[in-house]
Structure formats: C-alpha cells, structure tokens
Amino acid sequence: MLTCFPLLSLFTLSSLFVPVGLAAEPDPTIPFETYTLDNGLVVVLAKDDSIPFVQVHVRYAAGSKDELPGKSGFAHLFEHMMFQGSAHADDDYFAPFLPLGGQLNGNTTLDRTVYFEGVPSNYLAFALFHESDRMGWLLPAMTADKFKNQQDVVRNERRQRYETPPYGEAWPKLLESVWPEGHPYHIATIGKHEDLSAASLDDVQAFFRTWYLPNNATLTVCGDFDPAEAKTLVQTYFGDVPAGPEPKLTTAAPVALIGTRVVKVEKPTVPFPKVWVAWISPAAFADGDADLDLAASILSNGEDSPLYKRLVRDSRIAQSVNVSQNSQILGGMFIIEATAATGHTADELVAAIDDVLANARKTGISAEDLDIARTAYEVGFYGALQSIAGKADLLSQYQGLTGDAGYLSKDIARYRAASVDSVNAALRRWAPAENRVVLQFLPSPVAPSPATPSTEESK
C-alpha cells in the first residue's frame, strides 16, 4: 500500500489554452451517470469500451485529518488492515487478483483514503464482491494477530520512508512547522511511533465503524461494462451493506503565519543542504488555487523559468528547484524546494529564492509566461484522460471533493479564467516576503578527530 505525500497539486491537471484567433475546441468530457443507493453509497458509472478493462475505485472521505488526538496514523494503518481479508474472503486481498493480471492498491492522504482494482472486464463482479465484502464485513475477520502484524509493518514503513532517507522527514517536519499543534494537518499521515505502538484492536475497529460506511464513500466504475448489468451487480453486492451515523465533518479555523519561522534539521546522512520555503495558501478549488498552480509552473518549469535560470543555470548554486501549490480541503501550502550544489549553502539558496520572488512581485509575470504555463497544463490534463484508471480517479475525486462528478468543465474554467493580473495578485498575496516557514535540512557538522598523541605524550 502507498501513502501519498506530498500532493504537488490537487490533480496534476491543466486548463486548456486557446491561442488568440483560433476557434475554441469543445471541452473534453467523461460521459458518466451517478446515483445513490438506499444506504447512502454514491455510485458513478462511466462506460468506456475502448479496451476490455474495467476500473473499480472506492473513495472514503476519511484521512489522517479525521483522527482523534493521540491516535495518529490510524487512517493509514487501517488502509493496511483492509488488505488482510474479510468475512467471506478471508485471505490476503492481493492473492486472488494476481492470477487475473489485476492492478490493485490503496493510498491514504490527509483528506481521504482510496482503494482500486483494475481487472479484465469479465471480472467486474469479482472486483465488486471483494470491495463490498471489506466495506461491510471486514471486522469479523479482523484478528489480533493480523492487527499486530500490520502495526509492525506500518512502523517499519515509517522508518524506511521517513526516518532512513536523508530528506525523508522533511514532509512531516514541514506540516508540523506550518500547521499549529491541534490542527488536522499538523501530523503527517504516517503518524507517530508512540501512537501506532499504543493503538489497540478496539481503537482501529472504532475507526472503521465511524468512517468506513457506505454513506461516507463513493464507488466509481469506469471501463468496458454493460450499465444495466453493472447496476444490478452494485445493488447485489453493496445494497445490503448497512449505513451508519453520518460522520461529523472535520473542520479547522483559518491559520495565519506571522513573520518568518526558520527550522533547521541536521542529519549525518544529508549529502547536500536542501530548503523548503512554504506559505499557507488557498484550499482546493478556492479562489487563487488555480492561479498559484500556474504561478508555480511559471516560476520553476523549464530552463528559462526565473528560479531555474537563477539558481541552477546561471549561478549554479542549486542542483534542482521546484515550486508547487499543494491544495487540500482545509487549506493549502505553496512550496518552493531547492537542493544545493556542491559547496553551496542553504542560506545562499534562500537568499536567491527571495531575490527572484521579490523581482516577480515587482515586475509580475508576462502574458507569454502565462500562455506557456497553460499549454503545459493542457498536456498534463489530456494525459490524465488517456487511461481508464485516470478517468476513474478524476470522476471519483470530483465527486468526493465537489459533490459533482461532472466538475471537469468547471475545473477547466478556473484555469481559463486566470489572467496576468489574477496570477500576479495571487503570488503577491499568498507568497509575501514574510509570513512563511523556511525549513532547512543540513549535513551534520563533522566532529573533530581526537588528536593523535605525540611520542612524548604517550610515554
């Protein structure tokens, strides 16, 4: 299973750029229909018979932001438990799919957890059965031994993904530094060792009963299937899954950073200084979100972009630089990250980043810059529509985040509506000279070797 971190943007999507003088093409669409079962499960069906393949995608509106104090890591831990067998299929979840050539997995973020299976289209019923069984009948098969095993697996994953790699702890440290204690985004999805160690089987079962409900989920089926048959199968397998009390929506008061907070982490395994400069930014689909996506592309994509040109190509103080608008449900982070070249320091990187941003705020981006960014987003956007799995993911995300699986054209409109003035205004408002976090990962200073005693001293 995979834990998604960090989100570089809500979707790696683009808007459509139409050069002046050319007729606008119709918006791309994903034909679909949606309906809701009596138990509250939202169903999205999208027929695509281009290949004999079908994608089943289940999205639960439950992520690490929904965990209780002292219970961090539960959302991701539960993702693991969902692959340990259920009442009517009490086996490793992957095992029966592998002979079919199935592609399946799951991932957890701050905001949600998703599970998916891609199978030959004649195995649609097989995939729906397994997803429905763990949605409705997971707990009877959940044992203390399974739980202990996955508890150890997740703690080891934390060590391998976050603690051992040189920069692995950057994302948890960045969240901890930007979002105050008690905020739903303060702790990374992987959780803390002490919370994972203290977790009990009862705790995890309570998490399931609270969040893993049909009335807190979206089922998306995309691919080669007969719609009437699919509806019958969905009703057969999911119709009897009992609904539960409507989960309480997790909210948070607006957060503001004041001044500049510098956080330094020294590790012996860090080969080069690396910096992350982060600001609190708009939430997903909020005003300014799309503008900052475009600003991020303009600042760092391509050898002629201001940050790449200054830090990597000209001064050669950095090996790489990247900018991203990380938009989540409760708020976003606009992040610039750069890795120093040999012989250069984190302070040099921050000074150069500040200089480039100061110039960008003063002179603004150009219409040409904006056109190039839109074109790049167009390429990325159409790429997401080239696969059945990609379409299923988009439909599920739109439905889960906006309540409208057909939000595609409205999403495109956000980027089309962006102007030179709106992008410049967003950059000045959300990425000012102050009110930010500067995170630096630095190589640990080398301790001096003990002096070798002279002949006289050794006598």
Are residues 157 and 300 both part of a single domain?
A: no
Residue 306 to residue 294: CA distance in whole angstroms:
14
**Alpha helices per DSSP H over 89-243:** 124-136, 144-158, 170-178, 193-198, 201-211, 227-238
- Cβ contacts of residue 166 below 8 Å, gap of 6+? 267, 269, 270, 271, 441
Are residues 286 and 201 both part of a single domain?
A: no
Write out the residue range of the structural domain in which residue 327 sits: 260-443
Q: Answer yes or no: is 215 within a domain.
A: yes
Are residues 269 and 234 both part of a single domain?
A: no
Q: Torsion over CA of 333, 210, 240 and 121, rounded to 10 degrees?
A: 30
Are residues 204 and 80 both part of a single domain?
A: yes
Q: Answer yes or no: is 73 within a domain.
A: yes
**Contact criterion met (CB below 8 Å) for 216 and 62:** yes
Q: Give the Cα-Cα-Cα angle 133, 68, 182 (nearest 5 degrees).
A: 145
**Contact criterion met (CB below 8 Å) for 359 and 306:** yes
Are residues 147 and 271 both part of a single domain?
A: no
Q: Answer yes or no: is 448 within a domain.
A: no
Are residues 143 and 79 both part of a single domain?
A: yes
Q: Answer yes or no: is 352 within a domain.
A: yes
Q: Which two tokens stand for residue 40?
A: 């509250």
What CATH number is associated with residue 92?
Answer: 3.30.830.10
Residue carrying the six token digits 């989920």: 217
pTM: 0.90
Q: Answer yes or no: is 449 within a domain.
A: no
Helix (H) or strand (E) holding 355: helix 346-363
Residue carrying the six token digits 């905020």: 183
Are residues 307 and 429 both part of a single domain?
A: yes
Name the domain count of the chain. 2
Q: Answer yes or no: is 457 within a domain.
A: no
Q: Answer yes or no: is 249 within a domain.
A: no
- C-alpha atoms less than 13 angstroms from C-alpha of 152 in its C-beta half-sphere: 5
- Cβ contacts of residue 156 below 8 Å, gap of 6+? none
DSSP 86: B
Are residues 284 and 233 both part of a single domain?
A: no
Are residues 179 and 104 both part of a single domain?
A: yes
- C-alpha atoms less than 13 angstroms from C-alpha of 39 in its C-beta half-sphere: 23
Are residues 282 and 318 both part of a single domain?
A: yes
Q: What is the pLDDT along the chain (459 residues), one digit of tens a residue?
A: 333 333 333 333 333 333 333 335 567 789 999 999 999 999 999 999 999 999 999 999 999 999 999 999 999 999 999 999 999 999 999 999 999 999 999 999 999 999 999 999 999 999 999 999 999 999 999 999 999 999 999 999 999 999 999 999 999 999 999 999 999 999 999 999 999 999 999 998 999 999 999 999 999 999 999 999 999 999 999 999 999 999 999 999 999 999 999 999 999 999 999 999 999 999 999 999 999 999 999 999 999 999 999 999 999 999 999 999 999 999 999 999 999 999 999 999 999 999 999 999 999 999 999 999 988 887 777 888 899 999 999 999 999 999 999 999 899 889 999 999 999 999 999 999 999 999 999 999 765 555 544 333 332
